[in-house]
Amino acid sequence: MNRLYKKMLSLINKLMKDRYLPSWVIILIDFGICVLAAFISGFILGGKEKYFNFPLDVYSARFLILSIVLTTSFLVLFRVAKGVIRYSTFSDAMRIFFAVVFSCALMLIVNAIYKYKIDPLEKDFIPKQLILIYFFVCYIGLFLFRMFVRWLFEKAYKAGIHISMTTSIIIFGAGRTGTATANTMMSASRKYYIKGFFDDEDSLSGKSIMGFRIWGKKDFEKILSYKDIDELVIATNRISTERKNEIFDLCYKNKIKVLTVPHIKTWTDGELKVEQIKEIQIEQLLNREEIKLNVDIISREIADKTVMVTGAAGSIGSEIIRQLTRFNPKLICVLDQAETSLYNIENELIDKYPEAKYKTIICSVQDKERLEDVFNQIRPDIVFHAAAYKHVPMMEAHPYEAVRVNVFGTKNIADLSSKYGVKKFVMISTDKAVNPTNVMGATKRFAEIYIQSLGKTSQTQFITTRFGNVLGSNGSVIPRFRQQIQKGGPVTVTHPDIIRYFMTIPEACRLVLEAGVMGKGGEIFLFDMGEPVKIVDLAKRMIKLSNLELEKDIKIEFTGLRPGEKLYEELLNQKEHSLPTYHNKIFVANNESFEMDEVIKSFVDLEQECHNQSEEGIVRVIKSLVRNFKSNNSRFEKLDAKE
């Protein structure tokens, strides 16, 4: 018997390395099981009435043909043969159940039609007892066959017959997502060997699932140290960011790669694909709670409205567009001057959001004449103004360009919004507008002041949203660090003490939409940015994520603060304080007020200095309006000197 068992395991080993059985072979096997089930059912009932006497009588023939044809047909209809037998699951069992139920139900219907319409005097076309017995025998046969094959494969798997398997993994999370992950990785073309599960739920410790051991929290560090594990897969959404960081640090210490499974809502047709299981990203290790949208309120505001997004091809603008598509706007005006990026976002809309109604427009916010034509044609109800120059050192070197886009570009869009009766104008600002130390931040504050002042006399509701650095946005520190790490370093950080607030692009845009809906005009909305992050710590963690060692494989170099850069950013200045809103992540600043006459005079002076191409003159005018603008590490510091 032991010899036969080993031969079976050897055969299983060969099958594990070969391709899966084609569907037609599985259909033939199921056909054979149906035939066997029909004969067994007849013999079980044979104590009372002789079925399946040879040669077959009319009752035996009727039942045999009808049961086999119907059951096999329904098995094909319910796509039972499409499943891989060695990975049969509850859903496969349910498909088999319904296939057999429908075939038996149809036999009962045939019985009823025959008895009441064709020959009422004759007994049943097929005895009801026989159909009932067949249901149980056939279902049990089809189900047990699959469970037996699965059991054999698991026995072979755990017996160590995995010659071609190259990656040993352990799964964190023994719930539904964890078991789905195990099934997916066992069926992957790349071979994985599952060593067990981890789970922080104490009641699961020491138990098993799918035949694999579940280890608890107290065993975590010991198992990672001694079990020779290549990869750990986090397969649960019930886990805090702090716990993810603990897991990552322990895995890094033991040279174990960490992967994550996406939320179940993103699975293809409700099934997890192995290509969806990816290495953990830095964004997942930052201490950020998930931000939830008030979908009903936003939908009421956006549905059937024409929405314009400027800077639509940028990282923030394009994400706003993606999120707008779910709220069924009448039309999305996708406006940007960057031809290639605009082409890319248009293709994405075609591929991923075929139901969305949109119009792409190449146009610069500096071109008021062209913008007027666009507003006249589109007649937007809501404008999200994301177009801006945002790189601090670049704008410090080119203040003229910063003013033309960030100040006059915003003025153009705001003036036309007011003229053409836009209901809401939502400006994307930055925390660098608070107590600015650079031209970029000061120009954004200048623009904030203008739209707030304009809103006092306009029917348009002008709203400002102000937040910090966005993870993964164009030109942000994370893509830069990734590039430097890929090249082998060094990773450059401006100062060992520099800190920044971070949030992801999707959550920033969710808050922009929410703030835009709740705003009534004149507000500056601030977002809860969480805890600040030291940039040098961010760099170190990204080096770890790349499975590299600091100093040994790659170095960090400090290059000094760049022109206009400060060690930390703020969301409020000394004259502002914040008030809560109904959303726990959004606050409103009680901000300083300006007279429109003063603002208009500053615009006139600024226009003149731009005409003169005087960079110092441009900055001087900005400082006269934005009085808390004090240049830092910049050639414009001399303008702050007391006379």
SS3 for 493? strand
Q: Is the separation of the CB atoms in 99 and 77 below 8 Å?
A: yes
CA distances 27 to 63, 585, 600, Å, are: 20, 56, 80
Unique residue bearing structure tokens 């049943």: 124
Compute the distance between CA of residue 625 and CA of residue 595 in angstroms, rounded to an integer: 11
Find the helix or strand (DSSP H, E) in which 373 lies: helix 368-378
CA distances 186 to 165, 210, 268, Å, are: 10, 12, 18
Nearest to 168 by CA among 176, 158, 179: 158
Compute the distance between CA of residue 219 and CA of residue 232 in angstroms, rounded to an integer: 15
Compute the distance between CA of residue 631 and CA of residue 643 in angstroms, rounded to an integer: 16
Question: Which positions ≥6 away from 501 have C-beta within 8 Å?
Answer: 431, 467, 468, 469, 529, 530, 532, 533, 569, 571
DSSP codes of every residue in 21-73: PPHHHHHHHHHHHHHHHHHHHHHHGGGTS--S-SS--HHHHHHHHHHHHHHHH
Compute the distance between CA of residue 189 and CA of residue 164 in angstroms, rounded to an integer: 11
Nearest to 321 by CA among 292, 359, 364: 359
Burial (CB count within 10 angstroms: exposed 0-12, middle 13-18, buried 19+), residue 177: buried
Compute the distance between CA of residue 310 and CA of residue 363 in angstroms, rounded to an integer: 9
Six token digits for residue 522: 């004149």
DSSP secondary structure code for residue 563 in this structure: T
Please give the positions annotated as active site: 432
Find the helix or strand (DSSP H, E) in which 625 lies: helix 615-625
First to last CA, the chain: 102
CA distances 217 to 77, 223, 260, 358, Å, are: 46, 10, 19, 51
SS3 for 214? strand
